[in-house]
Amino acid sequence: MIEARRISMVYPDGTEALREVSFRVGKGEICSIIGPSGCGKSTLLFIFSGLLKPTAGEVFIDGERVNSPRKDVSLILQDYGLFPWKNVRDNIAVGMRVQGFSEEVISETVSKLIKKIGLEGFEKAYPKQLSGGMRQRVAFARALALKPSIMLMDEPFSSLDALSREKMQDFLIQIWKETFTTIILVTHNIEEAVLLGRKIIVLSDRPGTVKEIVENDGAARSKYRYEEEYFEKCREVRRLVGLKDYG
Amino acid sequence: MVLGIMAEVIAKIGFGRKVKGYILAIIAILILWWVGASLYSSPALPSPLVVVASFFSDLPLLAPHMLVSACRVIYSILLALSFAIPIGLISYKERVDSLVAPFIYLLYPIPHIVLLPMIILLFGIGDASKIFLISMIVFFQILVTARDAARNVSDYYILSLKSLGANEFDVFKHVIFPATLPKILTAMRISIGTAIAVLFFAESFATSSGLGYFILDSWSRADYNSLYAGIISMALLGFLLYLFVEFLEKRFCRWV
């Protein structure tokens, strides 16, 4: 379980990014965080990952306070965070190398993952030779290689076209169903937040505060897209985010 | 082995087009030289045909000098790299840079070649002082480039790796070094030219080996054919080192 307790963040230049943000995400839950751009969504993920210290408040994961990156937490940065100088295989393997797995284990795990993400034949390709969707899948594979219990994702699908986006959302749902990893995903896309998040945390404009927490039990199924409840939730979230409802 | 590397280099850089370019350039240079030599018609500027012939007839004599010069240049560059890369790259840390940068700014602009008397007093007139002089000059060229390159590595990649649980050494190994390698190789290419120029200077006194000595000795004997054969050898040495760096680039920087 992840718990944010009254997190506030003021950057050294005086920008107040977050103010007293508190919420909980249960084990194995998918949670979307949505809010206008600049509301501190990414800051929040960095704090969860242990890369950034909040100016006030604390994050607990399974009862332990977070103050440095944890081995069981994977962060997927916006634009995937892949290294242009590493090929697909080495990009997927880098987390395991850093954590000191043996080359034998790494090789086996990476081969399995490449198969799983359907990139066989691209092992030696460099990120710039891949499409956006393929890069996204490599980033997933890199995170999954560490068998994390928590995955944090910053705008994972924002630079994909609509079709690849939908495919990747389904892929994420499939991964979640197989692993029941706790997933926190930041997005500015209302439909995406509703499709994926069983819990939707709506943040206000800067400084980000929790405006509302929406329970969304039907989420994280690809068929949800076509259901009345989904549209209902989208309207609700749209209203909460502060957009006018013309529906 | 050298032939093997060269074959690989030629294959890697796209045999047809590149080699054709080189051959055309060599022909153009030879024609220009030949025209100049015929117009000037002085023993001080022999025709390229004569020089090439004397290069091959001098080869048994030239080869040991070439080898000595090659060793001096290669040792110097390796010595410079082994200090410049770690110091330059570790400067990506603000705290280290605030220590290193003042030294660079104060020491880099000095024309290091004027330190020659001091170096000879300290290291004697043997190979040590020659290698020290060349590597000191090359060291600064590579250090400045490596430092700038390291400081320009985006925090994004460092964070991306740290989020996977990386320590400082991992950041160095997986991010800073590979990210800056293309710039370091460019610096190496530039420093090959510098190293050979300084080599000539360093071999112009107190030695009886090396291409610099060979050239000056031929000059003093007014043996212009050998003089030019020596110059060609020096050019060839530089060219081979260039090819080697090109090979490293194709091998290790395929992602660029």
- For residue B70, the domain's CATH number is 1.10.3720.10
C-alpha Rg value of chain A to the nearest Å: 18
- Is the pLDDT assigned to residue A103 strictly greater than 80? yes
Which of the pair, B7 or A122, is modelled with greater confidence? A122
One domain for residues A247 and A190: yes
Instruction: Find the CATH number of the domain harbouring A3.
Output: 3.40.50.300
**pLDDT (average), residues A12-38:** 89
If we measure between CA atoms, which residue out of A242, A221, A239, A243 comes closest to residue A230? A221
- Is the pLDDT assigned to residue A6 strictly greater than 60? yes
One domain for residues A58 and A88: no
Angle between helices B211-220 and B48-90 (to 10 degrees): 140
CB contact under 8 A, A83 and B254: no
- Is the pLDDT assigned to residue B40 strictly greater than 50? yes
Q: What is the DSSP letter of A66?
A: P
One domain for residues B105 and B210: yes
In terms of residue numbers, what domain contains B152? Answer: 47-252
One domain for residues A81 and A198: no
One domain for residues B74 and B163: yes
Q: Which residue of A has its CA nearest to B159?
A: A51
One domain for residues B19 and B121: no
CB contact under 8 A, A49 and B163: yes
What would the pLDDT profile of B70-99 be if each residue is shown by its tens digit? 999 999 999 999 999 999 999 998 889 999
8 A C-beta contact, residue A196 and residue A172? yes
Name the pLDDT band for B7 (thresholds 50, 70, 90): low
Residue A97 touches partner B, C-beta closer than 8 Å: yes
Name the pLDDT band for A245 (thresholds 50, 70, 90): very low
One domain for residues B145 and B239: yes
Inside any domain, residue A38: yes
- Is the pLDDT assigned to residue B120 strictly greater than 70? yes
Inside any domain, residue A52: yes
Inside any domain, residue A180: yes
- Buried-exposed string A84-119: b where 16+ CB fall within 10 A, e elsewhere: ebbbbbbbbbbbbbbeebeeeebeebbeebbebbeb
- Least CB-CB distance to B159: which of A74, A77, A87? A77
One domain for residues A56 and A79: no
- Buried-exposed string A182-196: b where 16+ CB fall within 10 A, e elsewhere: bbbbbbbebbbbbbb
User: Structural domain tally of chain A?
Assistant: 2
Min mean pLDDT across A132-141, A177-186, A234-243, B234-243 is at A234-243
What's the token pair of residue B123? Answer: 């290291």
One domain for residues B65 and B184: yes
> Chain B residues with CB inside 8 Å of A71's CB?
165
CB contact under 8 A, A86 and B255: yes
Map A21-63 to HEC letters.
EEEEECCCCEEEEECCCCCCHHHHHHHHHCCCCCCEEEEEECC
One domain for residues B33 and B52: no
Task: Tell me which of A86, A113, A147 is where a domain ends.
Answer: A147
Inside any domain, residue A160: no
- How many CB pairs (< 8 A) connect A and B? 66
Binding-site residues on chain B for chain A (CB distance < 8 A):
156-157, 159-167, 170, 174-175, 178-179, 181, 253-255
8 A C-beta contact, residue B151 and residue B178? no
8 A C-beta contact, residue A152 and residue A49? yes
**pLDDT (average), residues A83-97:** 95
Inside any domain, residue A162: no
Task: Give the closest-approach CA distance of A89 to chain B in angstroms.
Answer: 14
Inside any domain, residue A158: no
One domain for residues B76 and B28: no
One domain for residues A33 and A59: yes
One domain for residues A173 and A241: yes
Task: Give the closest-approach CA distance of A52 to chain B in angstroms.
Answer: 10
One domain for residues A11 and A128: no
- Is the pLDDT assigned to residue B231 strictly greater than 90? yes
Nearest-angstrom CA–CA distance, A212 and A199:
10
Mutation for testing the B interface, residue in A91, A98, A126, A149 having most B CBs under 10 Å? A98
One domain for residues B36 and B62: no
- Residue B9 has what pLDDT? 61
> Chain A residues with CB inside 8 Å of B175's CB?
83
What would the pLDDT profile of B194-222 be if each residue is shown by its tens digit? 999 999 999 988 888 999 999 999 999 98
Task: Give the closest-approach CA distance of A68 to chain B in angstroms.
Answer: 9
- Is the pLDDT assigned to residue B174 strictly greater than 90? yes
Burial of A5 by CB count in 10 Å (0-12 exposed, 13-18 middle, 19+ buried)?
Answer: middle
* pLDDT cut 70: percent of chain B above it: 94
Inside any domain, residue A47: yes
One domain for residues A59 and A173: yes
One domain for residues A57 and A177: yes
- Is the pLDDT assigned to residue B10 strictly greater than 90? no
Nearest-angstrom CA–CA distance, A82 and B246:
26
SS3 A227: coil
Inside any domain, residue A6: yes
User: Structural domain tally of chain B?
Assistant: 2
In terms of residue numbers, what domain contains A233? Answer: 1-63+169-247
Name the pLDDT band for B17 (thresholds 50, 70, 90): confident
CB contact under 8 A, A77 and B179: no
- Least CB-CB distance to B157: which of A83, A87, A126? A83
- Is the pLDDT assigned to residue A143 strictly greater than 80? yes
One domain for residues A143 and A181: no
Task: Tell me which of A147, A182, A208 is where a domain ends.
Answer: A147
One domain for residues B6 and B101: no
Strands laid side by side in the A64-65 sheet: A16-25, A2-10, A56-61, A64-65
What would the pLDDT profile of B131-155 be if each residue is shown by its tens digit? 999 999 999 999 999 999 999 999 8
One domain for residues A92 and A126: yes
C-alpha Rg value of chain B to the nearest Å: 22
How confident is the prediction for chain B on average, in pLDDT?
90
What's the token pair of residue B147? Answer: 């430092």
Name the pLDDT band for B16 (thresholds 50, 70, 90): low
- Residue B203 has what pLDDT? 92
Segment holding A212, helix H or strand E: strand A210-215
